[in-house]
Amino acid sequence: MRLSRRSGLLVSGIASALVSSLMLAPAQAAESSTATSLANFGGLAGLERACFAEGQLNVIALPRDWANYGEVIDTFIRKYPRVNVDSQNPEASSAQELAAVRQLKGSNRAPDVVDVGLAFAVVGAAEGLFTPYKVATWKDIPTGAKEKNGLYFSDYGGVIAIGYDAKKVKVAPKSIKDLGNAIYKNKVALNGNPTSAGAALGAMFAISVAAQGAKGVDNMAGGVNLVKAWKKAGTFLPVQASSATVANGQTSITLDWDYLQDKYARSSSKVTWKKVIPSDAAIGGFYQQAVSKTAPNPACARLWMEYLYSDQAQNLFLAGGARPIRLDAMVKKGTANKKYLKALPKLPAGTKVIYPSVAQQTKARTVLSKQWGKLN
């Protein structure tokens, strides 16, 4: 969908100037497409000029109610009104993002950037879909949260939480295992397919850990078996939870990232949505940003990255209930919004958050690719 239109186009009446500008555009694009940091543009002002010359940014899979992306995008547009932002397929999964990069290669509609789960970032990097770029705040990103060359890097994240409509769920669930109770019949759902959606994969890790303890992160079969038990008990619904399914009462309980639970609260005035970090499993995860190697607007792709990792945008993610990757550094510098920081959901006492590794995610997806279809 179109989120903004360019404010205007100044056309010179001198034919030679027009020809000159057309000849310079490809050279600028080629130079921008190989830039690995702001230094290649002589600083932020140089990058901004290069982006203004392109005048376009193509993003994909950024729902407005996901981690406050609506405000993140709108603020970028207000900051750079000369850049048209085309937000394509907001509800796309991480797998669909990579597919779009492959299929639209060479087109001016191809995604300039992607926002994907870690496992998909690794796949994209290995396939050569991304190009290295290190934002100005690179040092604030923990070493374990970024590919060393800048092919992808964490941006925002959270912890899997149980969300529920208190008007329909009279006994509040406190743990993952609670969800197998018959009182929750026809109420429990995930946010998507765990073989292609990062949020659903995170939920399946939480289910597996609840079923087997910490070792569950290495044995997704335990999570699959618990979902099978829920399905037999009639509590699990093989549908994708969304604001619409919550509003119409179809999915009264969801397993989703804590920062995504708030969108369900806004789904309808008839919904009283609450969320809790389960006592038997705390699974965390961060989404990754990457610049497409074949981005049609390479300068704007990099300007978008600089914006996302600025204090301004990181605080906007925090406002959406997500944990920005630069949070620790911002707290030390005093630039993190204290109001938003205080509003983050608290973890159960003594809880240690588990962050599944790339190898664990890959292994889990292999198991789920064979088993998930049988649960639907």
pLDDT tens figures, 251-302: 999 999 999 998 899 999 999 999 999 999 999 999 999 999 999 999 999 9
Residue 95, domain member (yes or no): yes
* Domain-located, residue 7: no
Low-confidence ranges of the chain (pLDDT < 70): 1-30
Amino acid code (one letter) for 11: V
CATH code, domain carrying 29: 3.40.190.10
In this structure, is residue 49 part of a structural domain?
Answer: yes
pLDDT of the residue at 6: 25
Whole-number pLDDT of residue 198:
86
Domain that holds residue 63: 15-154+287-338
Say whether both 330 and 361 belong to one domain. no
Q: Is 2 a domain residue?
A: no
Q: Are residues 141 and 170 in the same domain?
A: no
Q: Are residue 208 and residue 110 in the same domain, yes or no? A: no
Q: Is there a domain that residue 347 lies in?
A: no
214 & 196 share domain: yes
* Distance of alpha carbon 214 from alpha carbon 84, whole angstroms: 46
In a domain, residue 346? The reply is no
Determine the pLDDT at residue 19. Answer: 33
Residue 306 and residue 276 share a domain: no
9 assigned to some structural domain: no
Give me the pLDDT at residue 374, please: 82
Is residue 3 situated within a structural domain? no
If asked whether residues 209 and 170 sit together in one domain, one would say: yes
Shared-domain flag, residues 278 and 161: yes
Do 229 and 301 lie in one domain? The reply is no
Alpha-carbon gap, residue 221 to 28, rounded angstroms: 51
How many domains is the chain built from? Answer: 2
Minimal CA–CA distance to 309: which of 126, 158, 87, 142?
A: 142
Say yes or no: 104 and 142 in one domain: yes
Looking at the fold, whether 66 and 199 belong to one and the same domain comes out as no
Return the pLDDT at 14: 27
Same domain (yes/no): 301, 266: no
- The answer to pTM > 0.85 is no
Shared domain check, 125 and 86:
yes
